[in-house]
């Protein structure tokens, strides 16, 4: 189940295998997980196996100005100004992106859908691996 957490989180708890959230705060994400758990319990089901948070244009592995890579990708895809997405789509090195994502792990996120925009696919893969390593090493 995907989308704004108001309804899909409940549907995911009642019917689905997981929830795919996007553009919500860590606090709202945690509320959605609680809604999903309650809906699963009320339906006599186990908690869905996974919860994902999508970060569209999640950052750039390129040297500064990183924001340009992310802004171009988001504006080309959505046809809207990056400023409308910037709060949820940070531009920075892997350490900064891991810091941005860490509160979602604490809130219950079990996986991320990262869309990295950088100077090359290899650099993006390396950045994703670094972000993963940082998040796995962090105390939970």
In 10 A of CB 92, how many CB atoms?
18
DSSP one-letter code for 62: S
> Is the four-CA dihedral 79, 124, 29, 49 of positive or negative sign?
positive
Domain ranges across the chain: 8-137
Predicted confidence at residue 63, as pLDDT, reads: 64
Q: In the CATH scheme, what is the homologous superfamily, with its name and number, of domain 8-137? A: Luciferase-like domain (3.20.20.30)
| Mean of the per-residue pLDDT values of the chain | 83
Q: What is the pLDDT of residues 79-103, one digit of tens each?
A: 999 899 888 888 888 898 899 999 9
Q: What is the pLDDT of residues 23-49, one digit of tens each?
A: 888 998 889 888 888 999 999 998 777
Contact in structure between 29 and 21 (CB atoms under 8 Å): yes
């Amino acid at each position: 189940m995907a989308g704004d957490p108001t309804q899909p989180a409940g549907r995911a708890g009642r019917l689905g295998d997981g929830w795919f959230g996007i553009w919500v705060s860590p606090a709202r994400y945690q509320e959605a997980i609680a809604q999903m758990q309650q809906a699963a319990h009320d339906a006599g089901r186990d908690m869905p196996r996974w919860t994902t948070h999508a970060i569209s244009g999640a950052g750039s592995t390129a040297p500064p100005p990183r924001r340009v890579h992310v802004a171009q990708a988001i504006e080309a895809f959505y046809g809207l100004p990056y400023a409308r997405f910037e709060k949820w789509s940070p531009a920075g090195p892997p350490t900064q992106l891991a810091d941005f994502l860490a509160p979602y792990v604490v809130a219950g996120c079990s996986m991320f859908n990262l869309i990295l925009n950088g100077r090359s696919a290899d650099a993006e893969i390396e950045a994703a691996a670094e972000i993963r390593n940082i998040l796995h090493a962090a105390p939970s």
